[in-house]
Amino acid sequence: GEATSAATSKLIHGGLRYLKNFEYGLVRESLTERRVWENIAPNFVYPLPFMIPTYSNFKNNKAILFIGMVLYDILSFDKAFTWDKSKKLPLHRTISAKKTRSIENCIPDNKLTGSSIYFDCQNINPERLTLGVLNSALVFGAKAANYAKVKSFINENKSVKGVNVVDLLSGKEHSFTADLTINCTGPWTDIVLKSAYSENISENHIRRSEGIHIITEKLCHSHAITFMTKDGRHVMIMPWRNHSIIGTTDKMYNGSPDDYKVSKESIQSLLDEINENYGFEKLKYSDVQFAYGGLRPLVDDQTKESYESSRKYEIFDNAKEGLDGLLTVEGGKYTTSRKLASQVLKKVSKKLKRDIGFSVTNKKYLVDSDIKSMESFIYQLVLRYPQFSQATINYIGRNYGLQCHTIFRLALYDKPLAMVLNDDGEILAEVVYVIKKEMAYTLSDIFFRRTGIGTLGYPGDETFNLVVK
């Protein structure tokens, strides 16, 4: 969850814009997986209304958008089958310009003809959802290693037998052997492959696309607003933790993923785009409270622009290139990651001639997410823990699921740990919990990958020092 998984738009979505590329199969798969995530991770994945303003021009034409909306509804015909019925997503609707402005007054009204409203889902904390997937795998017998970097492959007779890794915290080296090794390293896929071959013969190629987001004070109300830029891309302003997330960019990146970081130039470019297209009062660099970015691993489909590239995935058996014992996974997106994993295991089962049965990951809650009704769950927490604010109950309950009780008990047992750290209601007990229970070894782990203390910007000297102590 450190790199690409943490740098998403915090959405679980069908991919409305992929309809433009006639990728109906990808959209249908994504919509199915959206419902699966709603079911198995109810504390992380929530319905989010999207508003697409329409104008009297061809690109944002109401009639064209209506066709896309109807098709999106048809492809998500089973979206009502959620385990928590309160999360059932409604059909799209079209509203007038006057109604649009009354709901979201941040929308530019120059030649506004109305808007379409539809629903996808927000992934409120991709880092913790990724951790939930990992913890669920551990319950079923998987082993996990944190801060373990692959140093080299164990090769014997043109076959991969495992990997040599180095513990980045202790410097110790270890070897792990396996009948089959899977390379699922995202933006590092082709780089890892090069280290597996004695000669540079691999034909697997990915392209890396930079996507950045900025976080500002709250600009709009309850809807995610989608605009089209002059070059035909979509950029969104989304509500999140009483702030706004603005993004994303989609620009080819040709450097090493190890060297990637969000640049001031990329942030300013996104700000310029927002100011040029959306009619806000000029957003300045100083308005950015936090920025994050990552690299999308795209299957090289020979399209000129990364924005037009498919988000499809591929599973490649490297035995076709003379290197057995290795599978490589390329492309994909967060929403379809569970389905991709199940497809990989089918490939593993077939290759190793082992019957592993059917995947059940779409039928079982993630560990600590076995919550039948989130509304009822939060209500019961309010009754059980009157010592904590509604904000703290909401944040801890939604981000830690059933483990919230452990955190609340820590805070009740040791009163200083009940100290509130931000407007979201995060408390100091979280820090103790993630260190003891979730392999949080560094300050970056604590501030960015386990809690949300640092993901809205610098929390202030007092909070920073409390966490460090």
Asked if 231 and 343 count as a contact pair (C-beta separation under 8 A), the reply is no
Tokens of 259: 């060297």
Tokens of 448: 């960015």
Asked if 229 and 273 count as a contact pair (C-beta separation under 8 A), the reply is yes
Residue that has been written with the tokens 């969104």 in this structure: 236
* Among the listed residues 424, 434, 428, the one whose alpha carbon sits nearest the alpha carbon of residue 416: 428
Give residues with Cβ within 8 angstroms of 174, minimum separation 6: 148, 164, 165, 166, 167
Residue 452 vs residues 229, 267, 378, 397: alpha-carbon distances, Å: 31, 21, 19, 14
Cis peptide before 248 (omega within 30 of 0): yes
Asked if 457 and 242 count as a contact pair (C-beta separation under 8 A), the reply is no
* Integer Cα distance of 372 and 39 in angstroms: 9
Residue that has been written with the tokens 């037998």 in this structure: 161
Residue 223 vs residues 102, 116, 122, 220: alpha-carbon distances, Å: 12, 11, 11, 7
Residue that has been written with the tokens 């009940």 in this structure: 418
Asked if 17 and 71 count as a contact pair (C-beta separation under 8 A), the reply is no
* Integer Cα distance of 234 and 232 in angstroms: 7
Residue 410 vs residues 418, 419, 421, 429: alpha-carbon distances, Å: 8, 12, 16, 6
> Which DSSP category does 450 fall into?
I
Tokens of 32: 């199915």
23 backbone dihedrals φ, ψ, rounded to 5°: -90, 65
* Integer Cα distance of 2 and 113 in angstroms: 42
* Among the listed residues 316, 189, 240, 181, the one whose alpha carbon sits nearest the alpha carbon of residue 44: 240
Radius of gyration of the chain (CA): 23
The 10s digit of each residue's pLDDT in 256-267 is: 999 999 999 999
pLDDT in tens, the chain (469 residues): 556 788 899 999 999 988 988 899 999 999 999 999 999 999 999 999 999 998 887 566 788 889 999 999 999 999 999 999 999 999 999 999 999 999 998 887 778 899 999 999 999 999 999 999 999 999 999 999 999 999 999 999 889 999 999 999 999 999 999 999 999 999 998 888 888 886 665 555 788 999 999 999 999 889 999 988 777 788 999 999 999 999 989 899 999 999 999 999 999 999 998 888 776 668 999 999 999 999 988 886 545 554 444 457 889 999 998 899 999 998 889 999 999 999 999 999 999 999 888 889 999 999 999 999 999 999 999 999 999 999 999 999 999 999 999 999 999 999 999 999 999 999 999 999 999 999 999 999 999 999 999 999 999 999 999 999 8
Largest Cα separation within the chain, whole Å, is 71
The 10s digit of each residue's pLDDT in 116-172 is: 999 999 999 999 999 999 999 999 999 999 999 999 999 998 899 999 999 999 999
